[in-house]
Structure 1
Amino acid sequence: MKKLFLVFGLIIASPLFAQEFEEIDIKPSNSWLKLGVTAGVPVGDASDVSAFNLGVDFRGQYLVTPSFAIGVASGYNHYFEKDDFESFGVVPLAGFVRYYFQPKGLFFGSDLGYGFLTNVENNSGGLYVNPQIGYHNRDWNIYGYFQNTFAENDVDVQSVGIGVTYNIRFK
């Protein structure tokens, strides 16, 4: 697991080193916060104990180039109980990459990090992966996702859903 995080960190950081050690200039045109909501349907192991999930999404993004972005992502995803089970949650702490084909239109990307499980006994979480594909413009992102937390004890917490984020630009 540690090696996977190291490899991911190097992949994320490589575009920064490719700029010939120029100073990173964070400004409103290349960095912003993204705040949003998600809604999904659990699949796999999670579908046995949960009927649906809702979440909040927090991101900080930096555009390395006009088409390639990196950042950090977190939030909370609540899985509502089904039958006699209890509800639980996933708190992701991840890095992300995104590729924007044009200033407005299609994008794809993925989060990679650790998903902390809440209200689950004997399981703290595991590797968190969240690939996305969607539409973006200057202010909004609308996307579909497949979220998977490869938790301890052979438990996979998976969901498929949609999300929407609003871009808050620095002034």
Structure 2
Amino acid sequence: MKNLFLLSIIAVLSIGSVNAQEFKAGVNAGLVTGDFSDLASFNLALDVAYLWDVADQIQVGAITGFSQTFTKEVDGFDTNDVQFLPIAAAGRFAISDQFTIGTDLGYAVGINDGNDGGFYYAPRVQYSVNESLDIVAAYRGVSIDAGPVTLGFNTITLGVEFAL
């Protein structure tokens, strides 16, 4: 089993060293939708991605970041802001020179008290302004296991992404 794991790591690093690689960083702002929309006012998210080309129009890699959702007072009670640290695999497909679609799949680690995190998914559409700047629209979701039900902590964000 250890040999298979080691071989997998070597294969991934080899692919990354042969093909083009890039780091990207993004800043996003958005609104909370779904189960928690009554508790939250807005969301800010920072992303850092490492992507490499696996084909002419396809990139894969890893993405992480930080998400801060600012909550509001509800019925006279203050609520805690919600914070996540997403750790995910990223996939991108360039449908033209200007437009790219993709998704991030992984786990969002809950940072604030009482937040256990959950499955993270973020489908996205990107418009390339130039070689180093994209405008990104994304739907970010975290599926939170709350005992007998699963709640969705979802945001719709708009932001910019910079190639580093």
Give the Å deviation of 1:78.
0.2
Structure 1 length as normaliser, TM-score? 0.79
SS at match of 1:46: coil
Give the Å deviation of 1:47.
1.1
1:83-125 deviations in whole A, cap 9, x for unaligned?
12111111100001100123x301100000001112141x411
Counterpart of 1:105 in structure 2 is: 98
Structure 2 length as normaliser, TM-score? 0.82
Query: Which segments of structure 1 move beyond 6 Å, counting only runs of 4 or more?
Result: none
SS at match of 2:48: strand
The letter of the residue matching 2:17 is: I
Counterpart of 1:159 in structure 2 is: 155
Counterpart of 1:134 in structure 2 is: 126
Counterpart of 1:65 in structure 2 is: 55
The letter of the residue matching 1:133 is: V
Give the Å deviation of 1:25.
5.6
CA RMSD after TM alignment: 2.0
Identity %: 27
Structure 1, unaligned stretches of length 5 or more? Answer: 1-12
Query: Equivalents in 1 of 2:15, 2:109: separation in Å?
Result: 31
Larger radius of gyration: 2
Query: Equivalents in 1 of 2:92, 2:109: separation in Å?
Result: 23
